[in-house]
Structure 1
């Protein structure tokens, strides 16, 4: 019994480790302006095109200027595989960062960023400033509780297997 359980666990671990990672999530295939492009005047919209239609729920598209202010005007709109947002008239020259977060067709969130540079200053008025806390510090939840839980579950499982496979008369 112990050999069977051990074999199943080993097969599952090796199979899970060697299995290729599924890449069924949406991915960016184009953007307007292009990623890293330099534009002379600010575009009226920013559009990101994905390889498949997106879910409309929870779509976010923000444009942050070199002055750390938002420059999008309104909410992001999803049209099939395209995510877009209108822009205010842009202001200072420099790099504008386009941050996106969408829900792919399979329900998984996909996020990333693109950039473009504005070469000629505009006369636009920025939106609100980006708050320092909105990006977070990237620390997330601590990892140690998950490690402790995994050790407890594995130890408990091993204990159950050993208890079930003990020989009568020992004990």
Structure 2
């Protein structure tokens, strides 16, 4: 019986070690490489939202909100490999906006984030003012968003840490109980 216990403890510790060593690989979620509009950009018009990720993504959701939280109507988001696009039928009025996005990364974990930007100089009635309509051009702004601007679910899944803790606790308990043959209650 002690041989069986030693094998069980060894197997448990090996499983725990395996989980501990492979868990950092789960940190490698895909990330947002760039967006249009870019984070904190000041733009005069917007025809579509474009997001580019570090790998293929699935099940994209893109929402455009005013600073007060009211949704702005946009088209359905579509993923094409690492790129996600959503059409914006008309440029919203001047103000601050946030693009909220959520996708499933290539490793199967959902990731999400927000990209704030400002619309400046747009005119809903630009047809009445052709000179002003021709002046509506995007202002200079960074074209990309770094991975640090991403909000959300980065890191190792909770269940991995729970499984690791359970395995290590069982292994340590069994090792302590059966490692000293002179101790009362240990297998002989």
Q: Kindly state the Cα deviation for residue 22 of structure 1 after the two structures are TM-superposed.
A: 5.7
* Uncovered stretches (5+) of structure 1, i.e. residues with no partner: 125-146
Of residues 177, 182, 188, the one that matches 1:163 is 177
**What is the TM-score when the length of structure 2 is the normalising length?**
0.57
Matched, 1:45 2:84: no
Q: Which structure is higher in RCO with an 8 Å CA cutoff and minimum separation 6? A: 2
Deviations 1:17-73 (A, max 9, x none): 9x86565422222212222211112x1211111122222xx3111111124211142
- Give the Cα–Cα distance (whole angstroms) in 2 for the partners of residues 59 and 97 of structure 1: 16
> Following TM superposition, where does structure 1 have runs of at least 4 consecutive aligned residues deviating by more than 3 angstroms?
19-24, 121-124, 147-159, 168-171
- For residues 6-21 of structure 1, the aligned pairs below 5 Å read 12=17, 16=21
| Aligned residues between the structures | 141
RMSD across aligned C-alpha pairs, in angstroms? 3.9
Q: Residue 34 of structure 1 aligns with which residue?
A: 38
Q: Which has the larger radius of gyration?
A: 2
Pair 1:102 & 2:107 matched: no
> How far apart, CA to CA, are the structure 1 residues paired with 2:172 and 2:41?
57
Is the 1:66–1:92 contact (alpha carbons within 8 Å) kept by the matching residues of 2? no
Higher helix share: 2
Give structure 2 stretches of 5+ with no counterpart. 1-5, 126-160
